[in-house]
Amino acid sequence: MAIASTDFNYVADLVRREAAIVLEPGKEYLVEARLLPLAREVGHTDIGQYIRHAQQPANRDQRWAIVEALTTNETSWFRDAAVFEGFRKELLPRLLETRPAHQPLRIWSAAASTGQEAYSLAMLLTEELGISRKFEIVGTDISRAVLAQARAGRYTQMEMNRGLPARHLVRYFARTGTAWQVDPQLQRCVSFRELNLAAPFSGLPRFDVVFLRNVLIYFDLSTKQTILRRVRQTMASDGWLVLGTAETTRGIDEEFEHTRLGGLTAYRASAEAPLELTRRA
Amino acid sequence: MTVQAIVIDDSSAMRMILRRIVTKLGFEVDEAVDGRDALDKLNAAEQVPDVALIDWNMPEMNGLEFIQAVRSDPRYSRLTLLMVTTESEQSQIVRALAAGAHEYLIKPFTPDAVAEKLEILGLTAGV
């Protein structure tokens, strides 16, 4: 059954208010597909009835479930191979040249979802650095449900099939029943925490690289500008930002400069930006 | 130049599924019903395909035996080998890789999973 426009508008307002994510008219199919499983879980077969149920003051958990369902996106291991190749061959050597060997590399996977990007980076860094260099990866997401899976490091066979090279599967995972478990040593290099990109960030360290891929597209221009400004403030002065292949800072935040590194476009704060940022912060 | 693939599976339904997925990716596709049939087709072919998608369990020469046969024949040194199978134990994946498989995909799979494995192998249409 098609969703009524009043119900769609309620959901769009809720998601915009809580996560600053814009659901344009035309996304009704997405709302139906994502909310139907939630409706069934609480005994509704009709999306409209479920949305009215979620609107009741006592059902805050259902409203949050709606936000989570509409902010969770498909992910895969080593998504966009050219980005990881560019990171491995071009960006990582530059980082290693400019940082003292005792200083751990800090990387932020800023829309971590179920953790595939964060663990992919951990596998890549383990292969490239061995035990010679420490690194820390922080994964953040707005959704508690996806973060629970990311922390558990446990994936179904279907999830494992999505882009994970077989030699990595053999080296970094163990079969447990019908699922696969990330190697505990790899897990120790990765932590996950809840963070809403549309709200002020707190408690984050300075990062050498920020992966913020395929997430800005969901926000309006002013929210994108706010997020990019806050992201710059979390980056080391010579740190790098990596966006999705179809995303750019151009026309949004001109204090970033872009550099082409193999198959990767990376952004860094222009030389003038840090002082101005200090004053703003 | 078009990428050429051969799908080796004793299930006609699975051959059809893989043919559709790989054709959609822009590859030219041939089929074989088991390892023996595939070896015969390779021997008769003017041009060796770029990639073989290989089931493990087949009645006449299984996937592992096919990989071993291909790896021992220098005429097929450029053939990329992707195992596509229900065999999902870690030890079997290790065995297949040790025998010479380049990648391994466990059934069931989505079309995206096939495309991503082919991307890992550096195989995209028109390359």
Reading the block at residue A116, the tokens are: 């595939």
Of B93, B105, B109, nearest to A170 by CB-CB distance is B93
Compute the nearest-CA separation of A23 from chain B (Å): 25
Give dist(CA A119, CA A138) in Å, integer.
Answer: 10
Please determine, for residue A245, whether its predicted confidence score (pLDDT) is greater than 90.
no
pLDDT at residue number A33: 86
Q: What is the torsional sign of CA B37, B42, B45, B51?
A: positive
- Please judge whether A162 and B113 are an interchain contact, meaning their C-beta atoms are less than 8 angstroms apart: yes
Of B93, B105, B120, nearest to A81 by CB-CB distance is B120
Task: Concatenate the DSSP letters of all residues of A8-72 into one string.
Answer: HHHHHHHHHHHH-B---TT-HHHHHHHHHHHHHHTT-S-HHHHHHHHHSTT-HHHHHHHHHHHH-
Contacts of A174 in chain B (CB under 8 A): 90
Known catalytic residue: A141?
Answer: yes
Residues of B with CB under 8 A from a CB of A: 88-90, 93-94, 96-97, 101, 103-106, 108-110, 112-113, 116-117, 119-120
Q: Does residue A90 contact residue A120 with C-beta atoms inside 8 Å?
A: no
Give dist(CA A34, CA B65) in Å, integer.
Answer: 45
Average pLDDT over every residue of A222-231: 95
Give dist(CA B57, CA B59) in Å, integer.
Answer: 7
Of A161, A167, A175, nearest to B105 by CB-CB distance is A161
pLDDT at residue number B124: 79
pLDDT at residue number A24: 85
The A residues from 52 to 81 touching B (CB cutoff 8 Å) are 76, 78, 81
Please determine, for residue A269, whether its predicted confidence score (pLDDT) is greater than 50.
yes
- Please judge whether B119 and A170 are an interchain contact, meaning their C-beta atoms are less than 8 angstroms apart: no
Pairing mode, strands A173-176 and A190-194: unpaired
Please determine, for residue A192, whether its predicted confidence score (pLDDT) is greater than 90.
yes
Q: What is the pLDDT of chain A when averaged over all its residues?
A: 91
- Residue % of chain A over a pLDDT of 70: 95
Residue with tokens 């006609």: B12
Catalytic residue (one of A7, A80, A141, A253): A141
- Please judge whether A161 and B109 are an interchain contact, meaning their C-beta atoms are less than 8 angstroms apart: yes
- Please judge whether A165 and B120 are an interchain contact, meaning their C-beta atoms are less than 8 angstroms apart: yes
pLDDT at residue number B103: 97
Pairing mode, strands A256-261 and A264-269: antiparallel
Return the number of CB contacts < 8 Å for A and B.
Answer: 47
DSSP 3-state of A116:
helix
A101 in contact with B at a CB cutoff of 8 Å? no
Flag the least confident range among A103-107, A155-159, A214-218, B30-34: A214-218
For chain B, how big is the Rg over CA atoms in Å?
A: 13
Residue with tokens 């021997």: B43
Give dist(CA B54, CA B52) in Å, integer.
Answer: 6
Reading the block at residue B58, the tokens are: 């087949």
Compute the nearest-CA separation of A165 from chain B (Å): 7
- pTM equals 0.86
Kindly report, residue by residue over A22-62, the tens digit of the pLDDT.
888 888 888 998 899 899 989 998 999 999 999 999 998 89
Cα A69 off chain centre by? 15
- Residue % of chain A over a pLDDT of 90: 72
Please determine, for residue A276, whether its predicted confidence score (pLDDT) is greater than 70.
no
A169 in contact with B at a CB cutoff of 8 Å? yes
Give dist(CA A143, CA A21) in Å, integer.
Answer: 13
Contacts of A166 in chain B (CB under 8 A): 93, 96-97, 101, 103-104
Cis peptide before A165 (omega within 30 of 0): no
Angle between helix A47-55 and helix A5-19 axes, rounded to 10 deg:
50
pLDDT at residue number B127: 46
The predicted complex's ipTM stands at 0.90
Give dist(CA B2, CA A280) in Å, integer.
Answer: 55
Of B97, B108, B113, nearest to A166 by CB-CB distance is B97
Of A158, A162, A166, nearest to B93 by CB-CB distance is A166
Compute the nearest-CA separation of B59 from chain A (Å): 25
Give dist(CA B70, CA B66) in Å, integer.
Answer: 6
How many distinct helices (H) and strands (E) make up chain B?
Answer: 5, 5
Q: Residue A231 class from Cβ within 10 Å (0-12 exposed, 13-18 middle, 19+ buried)? A: buried
Q: What does each of the 127 residues of chain B score in pLDDT, given as a tens digit?
A: 789 999 999 999 999 999 999 999 999 999 999 999 999 999 999 899 999 999 999 998 999 999 999 999 999 999 999 999 999 999 999 999 999 999 999 999 999 999 999 999 999 765 4
pLDDT at residue number A29: 87
A48 in contact with B at a CB cutoff of 8 Å? no
Phi, psi at A238, each rounded to 5°: -110, 30
pLDDT at residue number A277: 44
Please determine, for residue A237, whether its predicted confidence score (pLDDT) is greater than 70.
yes
Kindly report, residue by residue over A123-167, the tens digit of the pLDDT.
999 999 988 889 999 999 998 989 999 999 999 999 999 999 999
Neighbour tally for B19: CB within 10 Å: 18
A156 in contact with B at a CB cutoff of 8 Å? no
Average pLDDT over every residue of A175-198: 95
A166 in contact with B at a CB cutoff of 8 Å? yes
Give dist(CA A60, CA A49) in Å, integer.
Answer: 16
A176 in contact with B at a CB cutoff of 8 Å? no
